[in-house]
Structure formats: C-alpha cells, structure tokens
C-alpha cells in the first residue's frame, strides 16, 4: 500500500435504516470542513450488480453519477453533503464483487486454484476498498458497509474489514459502529442490551469497534454511556449520542457537538488542520429553519407512496427553498389519480407542478392531463426526463392536433414525437441499457434555462432510452415549444421551453442529481421562485 489515506469503516447493528449514510456523510462533512480531502464509498451486500434494475419501491431512487454508474441513493447524500462528485468506485455490490471474481476465474487468472470466499472474494473487496485511497486524492476514505452485522450476506465484507484493520493497524484505520438504543416507554428506560449483542457479533467476527454512534430518541445519560463503554470496550468519550434530528442537515452539527470528528482524528493520530469551518452550512440551516415565504408544489409521479423513490428531487426542493427563504411543501400526487374530470380538483391550490421521471406506461395519461392543465392555466411547470417527454407529447397532441405519443408507451403510434434513436437501438441490442451519465448541453441565450444557469455550456446527468424526435422539431418549435438546449455533438434535444408562459421548462436530464447544500440547482431555485411569483399573483 503506497497511499497515505486513512480508512474509516461504518458498520451497523441492531436494525437497518438507522441512517449510516447520513452519519458517514456528516463525519465526512466535518473532516472536509477542517480542510481534509474525504470521500465515501458504500458496499451493498445484495447480488444485483448495481441497483439499476431494482424497483424504486424496493430500493428507493437509483442515483446516477457523472461517469454513468447506477448507484445507491446514499451516494446522493454523500454528494449533497460534500459537494464532491462520486463515481462507480463509490458503490460496490456483492454482485459486482462476485462478477469480477468469476470473470477472472473464467479467463484463467487463478491458475487452476480453487476459488473461494476467503481469500478471493475478500481480496476483491479489499482491492475495491483501496482503489479510492490509492488515487492519492484523499486523506480519508469512509466505507459504509450496508446491512447489519450478523447478516449472512455481509459476512465477507466484515471479514475484509477485519483484515484491513489487521494489515493497516489502528493509526490508519478505525471502525465506527452505528447502533440503536431503544427507549421503553413502559419501563421509562433506555436499553443497552441490543447494542451489547451487536457489538458481541462484531467481536465474534474479530472486530473491536473504536467508536459507538448511538441512535436514540432521548438524550443518553452518563450512566448509560458508562455502561455502553464498559460492556463494549470503548472509551467513554467514544460513545457518541445521535439524537433524532428535525432534518438530516442538522446531523453534522449534532455530531460536531458530540465531537465525533475529534474522536476520529485523535484515534487516527491525525493532527487537525483547523477547527471545522461551518459558516456556510450554518447559514443554509438558518435559512432552512426560518423561511419567510411558503409555496406548495405538486410532484406528479408513479412511485409517490415511497418518497425515497424521488429522494434527490425532494432534497433539491429543500436546497432551493432555503435559497429562496421559502418553505416548499411538496404534495405527492399519483398520476393515476389525474383524469380530465379530476385534474382541477387534484391540482387545486398548487403554485407549481413538477412531473417526475419514470418508466413504463402506468399513469402516463394522468401526467399528460396535468401538463395540459398547467400549460393552459399558466401555472409553473418543471418536467424532468419522462416529465419533459410527456410535455412534448401533450403539446403535439393538444396544440398541433397530432395523434402523437412516445414509442415507449405506444410502439405503433402514428407520430412518434419521442422515440428511440438509431444509435440507442444499437446499444440496446448490444445489451447496454440506457444513455447514462454526464453529457454536454448548449443553452440558447435568452432562454429561462440560460438565465438560471448563467452560462451557455452545462453538463448534466442522464438515465433514459428515448429522445425528442428531431423530425418533429421544426413543427413543434413553430407552434411555440422551443428546444433551447441541445447536445452539441448529437443535436439531441435536452431542454424545451414554452413561449408565452411564465415558467414552463422540461429537461431530458436529471438536474436533481447535482443539487447540493452549497450549490442548490439553479433550475430548482428558479422553479421555486416562479411558483412563489405565481402564488403572489394569486
Ligand atoms: N422512460 C423514459 C426513457 O427511458 C424516461 C426515463 C426517465 O424518466 N428517467 O427515456
């Protein structure tokens, strides 16, 4: 190992959903605020090679990085907190690890040896752990191990962590264990037993955690902290309380109060460069918590019963709201609820409508109906990916009078205004899936998008198969829906805007993926501003 990066592992115990990703991102944020270079990586113990094929109902949103990796939604938190880009190396699943090992086995790289979980799978895990550190770009690599200790599927990861700890020693690596301290109402007591058991499981696997981060509804009294320290072999000041927070963006501040960052630096024998500079973060929190305005926007989508399916959109509204000193109430609307008869009632009182990305047919006519309503009633509209495609279909049908559709929804449509391009068909036949990752887009001066970004060349992330069909471009533009952003190489349409409408913008890409606390996405900022304006105009 040539690099000097230090490795911090975050494991979880007792139950899932304790927020390992947020704790990891908060620690990273605090270290970054001290001037260190930090990145976070997540290991997911499932067998899918990536979450691209997972149903959002099951796993929440699929987060796409600049290099086109389809990843876990925790990477979104990492980017939102750190304002640093992630990549495929930041998210590795068991499926990918096995796939790499089996591919090597097939090409004879193991020279006839029996290929086994230990050492071959664990070596491949370790190779992936060290990959980011060896780039020389980072002081700290935080590796989040998905799932709970004790799960069968996380065993090889836990074993790899044990080996890394052994190889690197305690000055270069440490383990933070995130656990739950339940409060029993009837007994009026916080209980440490589940944590003791989960630390025992870690010890059985050969890992002594250095720091315990304890999720709790109640403050942890000293005697509980002492008990945890004694039974789990950690220093008293390494028992960190993680109280439930009003917003995930409070967590770095809470972790700072509990001195998580100081404990980490002390254990890793690392001199702090400076006290963390959190001014901008605190300014954001101040705006977030003291809004002077309020707007209600509708998010029309297919997976509205599971808000994690649109995580990045929800967070982008939080960032853009704070920027506008405005509380954004997001009303989640199932597109299946919307028909010609119900649309006025369902969208009543909303100051703006966002039509969400998605795949497949269900609820599509509802999305189109919602778009007709906001176009005709001059309500701010923001269409993302499928939302933009629906806007093109709606316009072609109701303004141009074409019997139009997207070939994703009706392969036999007379007017395929949204269609799969020949290039994409070739990729799909080859087993590739989608147009993924960052592409360049040129914006027309004078457009709302250009005004929002304040520049002509932008790079945004994609995840789709279908495109605006340029055969209809002239006809659609003439009638007033303008293509104001295009890809300079392929001429594919990236942004459409409606003339004579206060704010009607559809984008083929996913702006929500690049919104961060310190850099709220300009289109979300402007959409919230337009919604506020709409509300003021009554
Ligand atoms: N289903 C559409 C396509 O594949 C839109 C995808 C999306 O909204 N992410 O082109």
Quick check: 102 pLDDT over 60? yes
Distance CA 40, CA 419 (A): 38
User: pLDDT tens digits for 184-210?
Assistant: 999 999 999 999 999 999 999 999 999
Tokens 């990796």, residue located = 69
Question: Which residue's CA is minimally distant from atom 1 of ligand 1?
Answer: 359
Tokens 């349409």, residue located = 493
Average the pLDDT over 452-479 and give the result: 96
Mean pLDDT check: name the lowest of 43-52, 350-359, 366-375, 457-466: 43-52
Question: What per-residue confidence (pLDDT) applies to 432?
Answer: 59
Distance CA 93, CA 410 (A): 35
Quick check: 50 pLDDT over 90? no
Note the pTM of the prediction, 2 decimals. 0.94
Mean pLDDT check: name the lowest of 160-169, 230-239, 281-290, 305-314: 305-314
Catalytic residue among 510, 521, 529, 534: 510
**Closest ligand 1 atom, residue 385 Cα:** 8
Question: What per-residue confidence (pLDDT) applies to 429?
Answer: 58
pLDDT band at 3 (very low <50, low <70, confident <90, very high): low
276, 309 contact by CB (below 8 A): no
Question: Which residue's CA is minimally distant from atom 8 of ligand 1?
Answer: 357
Catalytic residue among 512, 521, 529, 534: 512
pLDDT band at 128 (very low <50, low <70, confident <90, very high): very high
Q: In the annotation, is 501 catalytic?
A: no
Quick check: 56 pLDDT over 80? no
Quick check: 406 pLDDT over 60? yes
- Say which residues have a Cβ less than 8 Å from residue 169's Cβ, sequence separation at least 6: none
pLDDT band at 513 (very low <50, low <70, confident <90, very high): very high
- Cα 465 to middle of ligand 1, angstroms: 6
Helix (DSSP H) and strand (DSSP E) numbers for the chain: 19, 23
Question: What per-residue confidence (pLDDT) applies to 1?
Answer: 41
pLDDT band at 428 (very low <50, low <70, confident <90, very high): low
List, in sequence order, every residue forming a beta bridge with 459; answer none if it has no partner.
440
By percentage, how much of the chain surpasses pLDDT 70? 98
- Cα 434 to middle of ligand 1, angstroms: 9
Q: In the annotation, is 510 catalytic?
A: yes
Question: What per-residue confidence (pLDDT) applies to 226?
Answer: 97
Average pLDDT, the chain: 94
Higher pLDDT, 210 or 537: 210
Q: Which residue out of 299, 354, 358, 407 has the highest number of ligand 1 atoms within 8 Å of its CB and is therefore the one to mutate?
A: 358
**Closest ligand 1 atom, residue 466 Cα:** 10
The verdict on whether omega for the bond into residue 510 sits within 30 degrees of 0, i.e. cis, is no
User: pLDDT tens digits for 266-303?
Assistant: 999 998 778 999 999 999 999 999 999 999 999 999 88
Distance CA 190, CA 216 (A): 8
Quick check: 247 pLDDT over 50? yes
Question: What per-residue confidence (pLDDT) applies to 529?
Answer: 97
Q: In the annotation, is 512 catalytic?
A: yes
pLDDT band at 430 (very low <50, low <70, confident <90, very high): low
User: pLDDT tens digits for 162-190?
Assistant: 999 999 999 999 999 999 999 999 999 99
Give residues (CB < 6 A) around ligand 1.
Answer: 357-359, 385-386, 408, 463-466
Distance CA 387, CA 394 (A): 10
Query: What is the three-state SS of 226-271?
Result: HHHHHHHCCCHHHEEEEECCCCHHHHHHHHHHCCHHHHHHHHCCCC
- Cα 408 to middle of ligand 1, angstroms: 9
Distance CA 227, CA 253 (A): 25
Q: Which residue out of 61, 313, 359 has the highest number of ligand 1 atoms within 8 Å of its CB and is therefore the one to mutate?
A: 359
211, 238 contact by CB (below 8 A): yes
**Closest ligand 1 atom, residue 358 Cα:** 8
Average the pLDDT over 519-528 and give the result: 98
**Tokens representing residue 439 in the block:** 């592409």
Output Rg (C-alpha) for the chain, integer angstroms: 25
Q: Is 327 helix (H, G, I), strand (E, B) or coil?
A: strand
């Amino acid at each position: 190992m040539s690099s000097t990066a230090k490795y911090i592992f975050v494991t979880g115990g007792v139950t899932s959903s304790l927020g390992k990703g947020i704790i990891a991102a908060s620690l990273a944020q605090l270290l970054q605020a001290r001037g260190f270079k930090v990145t976070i990586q997540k290991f997911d113990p499932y067998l899918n090679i990536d979450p691209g094929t997972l149903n959002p109902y099951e796993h929440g949103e699929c987060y796409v990085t600049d290099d086109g990796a389809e990843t876990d939604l925790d990477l979104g938190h990492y980017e939102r907190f750190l304002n640093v880009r992630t990549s495929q190396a930041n998210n590795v699943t068991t499926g990918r690890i096995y796939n790499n090992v089996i591919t090597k086995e097939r090409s004879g790289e193991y020279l006839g040896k029996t290929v086994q979980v230990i050492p071959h799978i664990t070596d491949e895990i370790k190779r992936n752990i060290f990959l980011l550190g060896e780039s020389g770009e980072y002081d700290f690599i935080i590796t989040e191990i998905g799932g709970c200790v004790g799960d069968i599927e996380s065993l090889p990861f836990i074993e790899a962590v044990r080996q890394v700890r052994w190889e690197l020693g305690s000055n270069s690596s440490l383990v933070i264990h995130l656990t739950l301290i339940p409060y029993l109402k009837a007994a009026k007591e916080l209980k440490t037993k589940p944590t003791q058991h989960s630390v025992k499981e870690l010890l059985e696997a050969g890992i002594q955690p250095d720091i315990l981060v304890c999720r709790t509804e109640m403050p942890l009294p000293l005697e509980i902290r002492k008990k945890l320290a004694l039974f789990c072999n950690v220093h008293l000041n390494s028992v960190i309380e993680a109280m439930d927070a009003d917003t995930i963006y409070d967590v770095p501040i809470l972790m700072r109060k509990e001195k998580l960052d100081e404990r980490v630096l002390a254990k890793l024998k690392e001199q702090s460069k400076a006290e963390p500079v959190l001014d901008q973060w605190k300014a954001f929190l101040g705006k977030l918590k003291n809004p002077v305005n309020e707007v209600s926007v509708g998010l029309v989508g297919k997976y509205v019963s599971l808000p994690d399916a649109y995580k990045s959109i929800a967070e982008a509204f939080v960032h853009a709201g704070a920027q506008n000193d405005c509380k954004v109430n997001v009303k989640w609307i199932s597109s299946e609820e919307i028909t010609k008869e119900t649309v006025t009632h369902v969208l009543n009182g909303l100051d703006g409508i966002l039509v969400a990305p998605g795949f497949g047919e269900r609820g599509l006519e509802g999305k189109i109906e919602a778009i007709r309503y906001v176009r005709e009633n001059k309500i701010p509209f923001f269409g993302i990916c499928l939302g933009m495609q629906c806007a093109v279909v709606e316009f072609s049908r109701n303004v141009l009078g074409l019997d139009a559709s997207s070939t994703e929804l009706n392969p036999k449509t007379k007017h395929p205004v949204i269609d799969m391009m020949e290039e994409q068909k070739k990729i799909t036949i080859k087993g590739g899936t989608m147009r993924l990752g960052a592409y360049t887009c040129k914006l027309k001066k004078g457009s709302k998008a250009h005004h929002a970004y304040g520049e002509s060349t932008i790079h945004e992330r994609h995840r789709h198969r279908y495109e605006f069909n340029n055969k209809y471009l002239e006809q659609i533009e003439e009638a007033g829906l303008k293509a104001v952003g295009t890809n300079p190489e392929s001429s594919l349409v990236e942004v459409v805007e409606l003339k004579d409408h206060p704010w009607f913008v559809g984008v083929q890409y996913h702006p929500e993926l690049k919104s961060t606390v310190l850099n709220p996405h300009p289109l979300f900022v402007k959409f919230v501003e337009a919604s506020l304006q709409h509300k003021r105009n009554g």
